[in-house]
Amino acid sequence: MSAGGRDPLRIAVPKGRVLSGLARLFARAGIDCGDLLADDRRLVRDSGDGRLRFYLLKPDDVPTWVEYGAADLGVSGRDVLMERRYRLYQLVELGIGRCRLVVATRKGAVVPDAPRIATKYRELAAAHFGARGIQAEIVYVQGSVELAPLTGLADAIVDLVETGTTLVENDLEERETIAEISSVLVANPALYKLRLAEARGVVERLRAAVESAGEA
Amino acid sequence: MTDPGPPALHALPAGMADLLPAEAAVEAWLAGRVMESFALHGYQRVGLPALELVRVLERGLGELDPRELVCFVEPETGELVAFRPDMTPQIARLVATRLGDREGPVRLAYQGSVLRRRRERARRQQQLPQAGIELVGLAAPEGDEETIRAACAAVRAAGLRRFHVELSHTGVARALMAPLTAEQRAALVEALAHKDATELGRRARDAALPTAVREALVELPALHGDVEVLEEAARLLDPTPARDALAELRALCSAVAAGVIAPSLGVDLGEAWDFDYYTGGTFRVLAEGAAERVGSGGRYDQLLGRFGAPRPACGFALDLVPLGRAARHQGGLPPSPPRVGVLAEAGAAQRLLAALRAAGVPAVRVGGPAGVALDRRELTHLAAEAGGGRWELRSPESRCECVDDAAVVAAAQTGRARDEGVARTGGA
């Protein structure tokens, strides 16, 4: 219902490792994303045609921007969406930023009946062990999670693994996969509906690009 | 260890907030306009208690997640009591238990706050001011159309010109998922609510559903937009048990479109975030300037039956906070009316104050004995004394000035000019 082409569509994107894959996906989708990858410190970047405006955020913050409506669309890891249950549309699984949420321990370690688990994913870890009848003590840590089993902070960790190199280098091994993770295009439900024509244009192009990549 | 010091005096229970005069005035104005509009449509106001027994709420809302409620055990009775998270079950209880013998439709309106805790989400516990209506005893489609008409009139009364009404039908997804267990349905509804086609596809793959039903189900997240989407929906849903629900939705769309009730109309076949008690058509109002729905409603034909008095019913509630944001964004809020500070000796001041108040103009006395030819600094000081904000200073004897917004108003020279002064203030 809002007049098209008036304000740019605002897309919250994660700074860091996913961004280059995202720029490639936009290129394949034929969407101009301007200087999204420019090597400077600007947190707001516009597409060349002025129709899109990108906000560069810490990955965990993307859903918050979108849920409050400070951005119309966003690109977020499914791990964050599962952990914090946002009221967002999760419109396209983008196939980038692929990794797995796993349980890992020191090599060959015996996990006690009531293990201590170090993780950033409190809800997902508690739900995973709870469903198996294991009363785990969840220890919240924000980073260097791999260090926890080596230093006696925890018996196991629940964390994201991309290639597994970090685990191996820290003498850890993967025990279970909790979920396969990739980046998801999310939308604020109200703003998506109010700017449906423009938002859907982006959604459909990205979906087509993801599908063609899957077939290739 | 450091001394924690005395408890902070500014602390509030999580999610609670005060409203200062400017914000309180906006909320009161919106609530007043909306309730007046509801009253003009025949809806009579009722008062509802802030607290309700959890078992009563659960009768209406289904099993509640205690993490999303603010509840406690009432010491005298041992009953679990909650601050209401929704007022519709209260209306259902009220109508079923106290107005059960009324014949014909019952039209009720209410205004108040609900309290919802949203665990681990961007927005935590919040007190949400609402105003709504419930229409009991009128079946679809007449009841739905009347409710949507009253809802749109209320939205217009709140100053919105640009808004979008979206229609859905809970029967669509429900009919498709009918053969499944409650657990399977919950998993599918969660993916559907997020329009997460990938996850929905994964979860539907193993569900024991006929092929046509599964194909329709996984297409639901894409079936939204203009009412033309109904054609595509018919192709997918007509061979399935969702056919009747779709026919009802089409009838409702035609009625609302033909009546030109809303400035913009759409449909969403995959909407799954509405309350469990809805049984038929549902709708929500979206408006530029608000990043969440400004209101929502729908049909709940089973709810009164759960309280022992089965009757068809539907209702609608506006969320006053996003409504206010949208109204402000669209320039629909009225400017705050000027108030008058009267500067005069006691007798004259009281006469002028009485005249102003009788004309509906807020007025207070400022300063001491009659002041003449005050400078700007003194005027500003008097405005602050009167409570800050936008003030017009007025005296029977001297010049009158409007301070703060720096406009200058003509003088009311004598007591005789009072009436003229009153008129000027009204139009300022």
The domain segmentation of chain A, as residue ranges, is 9-97+182-215, 99-181
Contact B121 A86 (CB under 8 A): yes
**Strand-pair partners of B112:** B130
pLDDT of residue B273: 84
Share of chain A above pLDDT 90, in %: 85
Residue B97 has pLDDT above 70, yes or no: yes
User: In terms of pLDDT, which residue wins out, B49 or B358?
Assistant: B49
pLDDT, tens digit, 9 for 90 and up, residues A166-213 = 999 999 999 999 999 999 999 999 999 999 999 999 999 999 999 988
**Whole-number pLDDT of residue B413:** 30
Please check the confidence at residue B210 and state whether its pLDDT lies above 70.
yes
| Set of chain A residues whose Cβ sits within 8 Å of the Cβ of B229 | none
> In this complex, do B194 and A90 lie within 8 Å of one another by their Cβ atoms?
yes
CATH number of A9-97+182-215: 3.40.190.10
Distance from CA of B207 to the nearest CA of A (A): 20
B-chain residues near A120 (CB < 8 A): none
Cβ contact A193–B120 (<8 Å): no
Please say if the pLDDT value at position B313 is more than 70: yes
Q: What is the mean pLDDT of the segment spanning B195-203?
A: 95
* Tokens of residue B393, six digits: 């200073």
Please, what is the average pLDDT of chain A? 93
What confidence tens digit (pLDDT) does each residue in B12-42 have? 887 788 999 889 999 999 999 999 999 999 9
Average pLDDT over residues B314-343: 89
Confidence of residue A38 (pLDDT cuts 50, 70, 90): confident
A99-181, what's its fold? D-Maltodextrin-Binding Protein; domain 2 (3.40.190)
Q: Do B291 and A200 touch (CB under 8 A)?
A: no
Mean pLDDT of B150-157: 97
| Nearest Cα to Cα of residue A51 among A19, A6, A82 | A6
Name the one residue in this structure whose structure tokens are 């969320």: B319
Range of lowest pLDDT (A1-15, A44-58, B265-279): A1-15
Q: Is the pLDDT of residue B123 over 80?
A: no
Mean residue pLDDT of chain B comes to 85
Please state which of the ranges A98-107, A139-148, B271-280 shows the lowest mean pLDDT.
Answer: B271-280
Angle, nearest 10°, between helix axes B170-177 and B243-258?
Answer: 170
Report chain A residues whose CB lies below 8 A from the CB of B288.
1-2, 194
| Contact: A67, B123; criterion CB under 8 Å | yes
Which of B195, B199, B269, B319 to mutate against chain A (most A CBs within 10 Å)?
A: B195
The pLDDT score that the predictor gives to residue B263 is 92
In the numeric block, which tokens belong to residue A100?
């797995």
Which among A84, A191, A193 has the least Cβ separation from residue B266? A193
Q: Which residue in B164, B194, B198 is closest to A193 by CB distance?
A: B164
Residue A7 has pLDDT above 50, yes or no: yes
Q: What is the DSSP letter of A180?
A: E
B-chain residues near A194 (CB < 8 A): 164, 286-288
The pLDDT of residue B148 is above 70: yes
- For residue B196, give the nearest of A69, A84, A90 by CB distance: A90
Q: Does A3 have pLDDT greater than 90? A: no
Give me the mean pLDDT over the A18-28 stretch.
94
Residue B304 pLDDT class (50, 70, 90 cuts)? very high
State the average pLDDT over residues B5-9.
Answer: 79
* pLDDT tens-digit map of B245-296: 999 999 999 999 988 889 999 999 999 987 788 999 999 999 999 999 999 9
- State the pLDDT at residue B389: 57
- Counting residues of chain B whose pLDDT is more than 90, the rounded percentage is 62
Residues A81 and B263: their CA atoms lie apart, in Å, by: 34
- What is the average pLDDT across B199-212? 93
pLDDT of B364 over the 90 cut? no
Shared fold status for A9-97+182-215 and A99-181 = yes
Question: pLDDT tens digit string along B373-422?
Answer: 455 566 666 666 666 555 666 665 544 444 443 222 323 333 333 333 33
Q: What number of C-beta contacts closer than 8 Å exist between A and B? A: 71
Q: Give mean pLDDT, residues A81-89.
A: 93
Query: For residues B176 and B211, what is the distance between their CA atoms, to the nearest angstrom?
Result: 11
Q: Check residues A5 and A214 and name the one with the higher pLDDT.
A: A214
pLDDT digits (tens, 9 = 90+) for A58-83: 999 999 999 999 999 999 999 999 99
